[in-house]
Amino acid sequence: MTIFGGILLYLSLAGAAAGLVSLLLPLRFLGIRTRKRGLLVLALSLLVFITGVCLPVTETRLRTPRTRLDEFEPVFQFNEFHSVAVSASKERIDWAIRTVRPEEIRFYKTLMTIRGLRKSLAPEGRPILSAFTSGWFTLVADEPGREIVFGHWGPQIGIAMNFRIEERDSTHCLLTTETRVDASPGNARRGFATYWRMIYPGSSLIRSMWLRAIKLRAESPLTSVTASR
């Protein structure tokens, strides 16, 4: 529903822009040959936008916690999950999570700014995780080699995120990250649903690239764990 809703919102905004322009100068190459048709495109685009905003939101409630993230955010309406296989020990992956830096992730600062998380940006040379957990987010669980959880809880919206290491053997692990959001019913939930559907592509890209940077750092034979701490 998140991806579908995002597609509706982006298509409706593009259509509304085309309709507005066509009120002044019909965009014939798009099939909008008259101002009247431009007005129709604008009206239909607004209707599609409202549909995207009003799509239903599904709530998840976990009764039996399996992870530390489950303990801190057992109820949520929005989430995204990413994973990557890493050929390294859990200790080295844990170190990589804590030490990966902004310059190791392409377009990191740009994407974070677009998402409205500029306050959580880490300056070059400083680990991303430490910047996150010393700013808007709070570190709430830290089990070295297993799971790190940090989040922000306000009166209407709670956001939690984790990195979790699942050991397959001594040199192979599955690294996952999940973000969950619990929004209060009403305007806060509806407003966040619109925001989430709009920023989801960029958010998903940030998470995937963050995991990739951790994987590259953990698997790199040229980087010393001891020297980089």
Tens-binned pLDDT, residue by residue, of the chain (229 aa):
678 888 899 999 999 999 999 999 999 999 999 999 999 999 999 999 999 888 989 999 999 999 999 999 999 999 999 999 999 999 999 999 999 998 888 777 766 665 555 555 555 668 889 888 887 799 999 999 999 999 999 989 999 999 999 999 999 999 999 999 999 988 889 899 999 998 888 888 889 999 999 999 999 886 655 444 4
CATH number of the structural domain 60-228 = 3.30.530
Outline which parts of the chain fall under CATH 3.30.530: 60-228
Task: Give the dihedral sign, CA 213/214/216/222.
Answer: positive
Q: In the prediction, which pLDDT does 229 show? A: 47
pTM score, whole prediction: 0.83
Length in residues, the chain: 229
* Burial class of 169 by CB neighbour count within 10 A (0 to 12, 13 to 18, 19+): exposed
How far is CA 153 from each of CA 14, 120, 156, rounded to the nearest angstrom? 34, 15, 8
